[in-house]
Structure 1
Amino acid sequence: MNRILILLLITILTVSCSKSRSDPKRVAVARAGNVFLYHDQIPRMIPPGTSPADSAAIVHNYINRWARKEFLRQKAQENLSADLKIEIDNQLEETRSNLVIYQYQRQMMLERMDTILTEAELEQYYLDNQESFMLNSNIIKALFIKLPAETPNISRIRLLARSNEQEDLQELESYCYQFADKFDDFNEKWVPFNRLSVELPQDIPNEES
């Protein structure tokens, strides 16, 4: 893996010059504008037994997608109006506050509850304190994959996405890092629904259905 990344570092970083400097304590593998992508930021996405050539292709595709996305983000940041930037900052802060409050309330609830409480008692506690669990925006757990229409073997990806087997999930990750425009797995944590909705081609009229 390290050999692959070093080769990519040579081929990607030497094509551009800039006064911006990377963190000398970390290994930079790519740069988009003044933003660097470091070795420790790349997910562990190479399944065991993958050939060196396939491993290099997987990592290279991931870096290319990162660079395109980062350049687009920088371009959008440059061209957004001041009012829109303020609106986005406000939305991000509200979402962050909602998640912090939710996690704090959940932690406090767990700390105060005795471990021998029955399901009925837990349900009653929730019914008696529903206002404490209300969020200002919807949250979701999901696996989100965005693929180009011409992606090969899309049916295979659908099958892997429905599987709970670890080997299938590793194959899915490897496949998505090669072909997916977007791949987010937040099945284990709650995230704001609007993080997902901005990626959808059309609005969802009823987020709670």
Structure 2
Amino acid sequence: MKIRVSRNGPYIVTGSVPLMVMEIASDERGDCRSWQKVREYPLQEEYALCRCGHSKNKPFCDGTHAKVHFNGTETAGDEPYLENPTIIRGPKLELADYEGLCAHARFCLRAGGIWNLTERSDIPDARDTAIDEACNCPSGRLVLRDRQTGETIEPALERSVVVIENPARGEYGPLWVRGGIPIESADGRTYTIRNRVTLCGCGRSRNKPFCAGDHIGH
């Protein structure tokens, strides 16, 4: 399984990677709580996903990037945002916050926010809620470590690509790449392989090919 970023064109996904659409489900307070699968596409050995945001056949590419002269230059470079995350050390959990990866899914805001919950992680409910919020973060911005065992806490994710939708807010966001699928740049370089990554699907990201939350408000 692999995803290749084509030059000023779509993402080329190979290796029979499952593709589905998921919505962010909110509770009665409006807090983001869970993921709900709403559609699964037939399995294909290879397919092309829109990167410019203008396809009339989303999530698939229909060639519109050529008509709109899409500039898909990759700006993620050597991924400096992975080098020095903000670290918050609580009594039971340690949070690494890679802020440059934020896709604004908003799971982290419930119950006072994951930062506050980490600082109160000696309280079982706070610890459990922090873990739930971090594991629902699609971009991998928020990564927790158990301070007692030293182990990183990561969700078990099927290798797949998810088209993220948040209809309650009228937001149709990035592509959630799950399970450590390699992503190769247009010049043949493989980005850091991570369990969860969000790729830009609107064409506006300042951190191409990754989502930087620039779909919000458009």
Same fold flag (TM > 0.5): no
Shorter chain as denominator, the TM-score bin is: under 0.3
Which one has a larger percent helix, Structure 1 or Structure 2? 1
TM-score (norm 2): 0.25
TM-score calculated relative to the size of structure 1: 0.26
Larger strand share, 1 or 2: 2
From the CA coordinates, give the structure whose radius of gyration is larger.
1
